Amino acid sequence: MADAVPRLHHLKPYVEYYQDYADKVTGLVSDYPLGTQIIGEEAQKEFIALFGAILRLQNILASFDEFSGSQLLTDRQSQDYRSVYLDLYNEFRRGSESEKEDIHDDVVFEIELIKQVEINVDYILMLVQKYRDERGDGDDKEVRAEISRAVDASPSLRSKKDLIEDFVDSISLDSAVEEEWRTYIAHRQEAELSDIIAAEGLKPEETRQFIDRAFQDGNLRTSGTAIMKVLPPVSRFNKNGAHGTKKRRVVERLTSYFDRFFGLSHRSDS
């Protein structure tokens, strides 16, 4: 009987957090049903605040054993709501960049909590294998939709969606999916980097070394002398500021390239 006392003390905060979580999920599903557009900035901000609160509560509740199996949103609902949340994050961020301001002070996005439930490439490749196995059986369309939902719900993979969808369209019926993926990504990495090198007149060997180092370090360094080594000769004293403009454009393109392929493969692995 004495053991029940600390047990009750343990359950009290859980019950309080869970009730708050349940109330907020009920409000989410009622006020923002999936498949309907959230109209107006005020409604969007309210959704962001509500879903952010749910993410925080889920993070707290995950530390309690009692929460296992008690989630009120299905995996599919969670993915779809995360997708809406990330769409709004990108929309607010684009608006802030165009206005040269930070994201509104009254809008807080819990992106780090979203990343805690990140979909990784291994999971996507498992779905691709499932899609290939079920192709022609009538269930492949649902698997394809599941791949799209999973990618849209991932902060790191949604920017790579075209790569993943093109790969799904290209897979053969007999070879190993993981092997095809490595070959496919290596080809796309090389093709897109070659396009950047040609378009910007960059030094090929130096650029590839620069990118390889970025993938090894997990970070693309845009300051210092390393980035200067990839640039074609341009006078620093050009009256029109051509050197600075060129450097900024190259940095933007290489940063986008790095973000696009980082985490999918490694150039030197190909």
CB 153 within 8 A of CB 82: yes
Q: Could you give the count of Cα atoms lying within 13 Å of 61 in the half-sphere of its Cβ?
A: 22
pLDDT for residue 7 is more than 70: no
Q: What is the mean pLDDT of residues 226-236?
A: 79
Q: pTM of the predicted model, to two decimals?
A: 0.72
- Which of 37-51, 211-225, 231-245 ranks highest by mean pLDDT? 37-51
Residues 6 or more apart from 254 whose CB is under 8 A from it?
Answer: 196, 207, 210, 211, 220, 222, 227, 230
- Going by C-alpha positions, the residue among 92, 13, 89, 90 that lies closest to residue 57 is 13
Query: Residue 167: phi, psi to the nearest 5?
Result: -65, -45
From CA 18, how far away is CA 60, in angstroms rounded?
A: 10
Q: What is the pLDDT of residue 104?
A: 55
State the CATH architecture for 4-115. Answer: Up-down Bundle (1.20)
**Residue 158 — pLDDT band, cuts 50, 70, 90?**
confident
Question: What is the rounded average pLDDT for all residues in the chain?
Answer: 85
**Residue 270 — pLDDT band, cuts 50, 70, 90?**
very low
Three-class DSSP category at 148: helix
- Which of 23-27, 74-78, 264-268 ranks highest by mean pLDDT? 23-27
Q: What is the pLDDT of residue 3?
A: 45
Q: What is the pLDDT of residue 269?
A: 45
CB 222 within 8 A of CB 251: yes
Structure confidence by residue, pLDDT tens digits, 63-79? 888 898 899 999 999 99
Structure confidence by residue, pLDDT tens digits, 95-116? 655 454 554 556 788 888 888 8
**Residue 142 — pLDDT band, cuts 50, 70, 90?**
confident
Q: What is the mean pLDDT of residues 28-38?
A: 95
- Which of 18-27, 56-65, 144-153 ranks highest by mean pLDDT? 18-27
The ranges assigned to domains in the chain are: 4-115, 119-174, 175-270
Q: What is the pLDDT of residue 43?
A: 95
Structure confidence by residue, pLDDT tens digits, 176-221? 899 999 999 999 999 999 999 999 999 999 999 999 999 998 889 8
- Going by C-alpha positions, the residue among 199, 254, 198 that lies closest to residue 223 is 254
CB 217 within 8 A of CB 262: no
Structure confidence by residue, pLDDT tens digits, 84-95? 999 999 888 876
For 164, the token pair is: 């993943």
Q: What is the pLDDT of residue 4?
A: 41
Greater confidence, 2 or 34?
34
Residue 123's Cβ-count burial label (10 Å; 0-12, 13-18, 19+) is middle
pLDDT for residue 17 is more than 50: yes
Three-class DSSP category at 220: coil
